[in-house]
Structure 1
Amino acid sequence: MGLYHNRPHVQDIRRMKARGEKISMLFVTTPDEAAAAAAAGIHMLSIEGRFFDATMREAAGDCFVQVGLPYGGWGSFNGRPLATAEDYLRAAFHYAGIGGDAYYCAASYDIQKTLADNHIPVVGHIGLIPSYISWTGWRAVGKAADEALALWRHTQKLEEIGVFAAELEVVPDRIAAFLAQNSSLVMLGMGAGPHADAQYLFTEDVCGYGLNHKPRHGKVYRNLGPELARLQEARIEAFRAFKADVDGGTYPAPEHVVPVKDEEYEAFLKAAQG
């Protein structure tokens, strides 16, 4: 990875927040998705660590990339779940070497602080946090005053320990506006209304090929689901035809093989057998 590049730095993203600029963000899982986002001028990408490698970094072009550090049993790094601050540091430094720009971490405050203390740009999580789902269930978080206050206290704590940004997921719009306007954290809104600092969606929702439940905040801009299903069926048909050829002995045919002249083959046999 080169030390110098044209993509934004943390300070650039912070300045965009300060100026009230709109920030677009997508979750991508393949180089094709990352390259399409870069070509479209998307500002930020979220890429889970298990998908992030040099190919993904190159495909992401000038996009600012948040790398997701797997939490506990939600993933692993080097074959083991992340559990300690040292585990998270090793993972973050590894992905930094590939070209990550910031690192999503939903672990405890002490682990997030350890990362921040080591000058690693940390993205926390506020609201509906999938890895904490046993506590909240799949629902909006912050509709009651006491729960909204807990979100504000959480925001203050993240700011205090040096976190740079936070995914703000499925939070009432006016609560999200208060959090974004009263905190230095760059609020990456997913289902958090128009006043979050960034608008963050999953590619599978934007392109209409998601198989999971479509969230309230999801919006399909192009419905690629039927086309991808057609391509998959065509792929299966091609594979079946290939297998049938192999089973029937019709592949490879003479046009698919490399010939050898008779005299060369005879010379080879004589040498090999003699």
Structure 2
Amino acid sequence: MSVSQTQRVMTPVEVLGRKGGEPLVCLTAYTTPMARLMDGVVDIVLVGDSVGMVLHGLPSTLGVTLEMMIMHGRAVARGLSRSLLVIDMPFGSYEESPAQAFRNAARLISETGAAAVKLEGGVHMAETIAFLVARGIPVMGHVGLTPQAVNTLGGYKVQGRGSDGARIQADAEATAAAGAFSVVLEKVPASLADKISETIAIPTIGIGASVGCDGQVLVVDDMLGLFGDFLPKFVKRYAELGQTAREAIADYAAEVRGRAFPAAAHQFADSEKAAK
């Protein structure tokens, strides 16, 4: 049964139980109005650290702070009553030690109402994932292209081609073994994503991966055409709302300059009787 067919809040345990079943639907959200549009339509709403690039104009996710994630997490939580809320742990908030990760993950969950956190990294983060899960914090993993490591990866390149596939496979397996309830596979060859999806016991959520994954995630502003001219290969535009908005703004500006707005219908009369 999909989340759209129930009034109950989706849980990490239910996501785990969807392995090999009905594909999981995931989108990012950063605001209350967008969360309300998604609630009950998608299974998982992710407050991604992509908020730094999408809403704050940052060149990468590296400048996103814990405070920014908490602010946007609270906003999204206000718009949800059914979909599972997952929040990204930003760069520098979990890499130092499992103890640091727990302190910050606990803060994210307690201050936003999120049910789970997402963190990047595979083999080298397995200890941290296990530490969080053992202490009651559900974790969504993220392997392949990990944007927080963009400087060491040499850019936003496809990961796991050729012999490098073994590294991504090992990362996914380590993430699953550590107790994560799902794992994002970003920008990896489709054949590798299929292999990982077939061999690990937790759901895989693809972004630039394969239709064979257990679910898919996109940045909502990308799929709605709300911002930016750059379109990654893995994004399908389901609307061009940015162009629609630009046209509406231009129409508004023209009417203001031509004194066509506000018209009489948008102004107030001297008395209520006259207004009627």
TM-score range, shorter chain: 0.7 to 0.9
Map of 1:44 onto structure 2:
44
Residue 29 of structure 1 contacts residue 51 of structure 1 at CA under 8 Å; is this kept in 2? Answer: no
Map of 1:26 onto structure 2:
27
Q: Distance in 2 between matches of 1:238 and 1:67?
A: 42
Match status 1:65 vs 2:50: no
Map of 2:105 onto structure 1:
92
Map of 2:53 onto structure 1:
none
Q: Deviations over 1:85-130 (max 9, x none)?
A: 3332222222322321210112642332321221211112111111
Q: Unaligned 5+ residue runs, structure 1?
A: 241-254, 256-274
Map of 1:114 onto structure 2:
131
Aligned length: 230
Return the match for 1:131 from 148, 151, 154: 148
Map of 1:268 onto structure 2:
none
Match status 1:228 vs 2:230: no
Match status 1:158 vs 2:145: no
Residue 182 of structure 2 contacts residue 205 of structure 2 at CA under 8 Å; is this kept in 1? Answer: yes
Structure 2 vs 1, CA of residues 6 and 216 (structure 1 numbering), >3 Å: closer, same or farther? same
Q: Distance in 2 between matches of 1:197 and 1:112?
A: 21
Q: Distance in 2 between matches of 1:176 and 1:227?
A: 35
Map of 1:191 onto structure 2:
208
Q: Distance in 1 between matches of 2:97 and 2:86?
A: 21
Deviation at 1:227, TM superposition (A): 2.3
Higher relative contact order (CA 8 A, sep 6+): 2
Deviation at 1:171, TM superposition (A): 1.0
The residue type equivalent to 2:147 in the other structure is: P
Deviation at 1:24, TM superposition (A): 0.8
Q: Deviations over 1:248-268 (max 9, x none)?
A: xxxxxxx8xxxxxxxxxxxxx
Deviation at 1:238, TM superposition (A): 10
Map of 1:102 onto structure 2:
116
Deviation at 1:83, TM superposition (A): 4.0
Q: Secondary structure at the match of 1:88?
A: helix
Q: Unaligned 5+ residue runs, structure 2?
A: 1-6, 49-68, 258-269, 271-276
Residue 29 of structure 2 contacts residue 76 of structure 2 at CA under 8 Å; is this kept in 1? Answer: no
Q: Distance in 1 between matches of 2:227 and 2:190?
A: 25
Q: Secondary structure at the match of 1:92?
A: helix
Larger radius of gyration: 1
Residue 25 of structure 1 contacts residue 43 of structure 1 at CA under 8 Å; is this kept in 2? Answer: yes
Q: Secondary structure at the match of 2:192?
A: helix
Map of 2:185 onto structure 1:
168
Q: Distance in 2 between matches of 1:231 and 1:91?
A: 42
Residue 125 of structure 1 contacts residue 168 of structure 1 at CA under 8 Å; is this kept in 2? Answer: yes
TM-score, length basis structure 2: 0.74
Percent of aligned pairs sharing the same letter: 20
Match status 1:207 vs 2:224: yes
The residue type equivalent to 1:38 in the other structure is: D
The residue type equivalent to 1:32 in the other structure is: P
Map of 1:8 onto structure 2:
10
Deviation at 1:9, TM superposition (A): 1.2
Q: Secondary structure at the match of 1:135?
A: helix
The residue type equivalent to 2:158 in the other structure is: A
Q: Distance in 2 between matches of 1:28 and 1:239?
A: 32
Q: Deviations over 1:206-259 (max 9, x none)?
A: 11112162110101111101222245557888999xxxxxxxxxxxxxx8xxxx
Q: Distance in 2 between matches of 1:171 and 1:183?
A: 16
Structure 2 vs 1, CA of residues 226 and 14 (structure 1 numbering), >3 Å: closer, same or farther? same
Q: Secondary structure at the match of 1:59?
A: coil
Residue 168 of structure 1 contacts residue 192 of structure 1 at CA under 8 Å; is this kept in 2? Answer: yes
Q: Deviations over 1:156-202 (max 9, x none)?
A: 21122222221100111111011011102221100111011111111
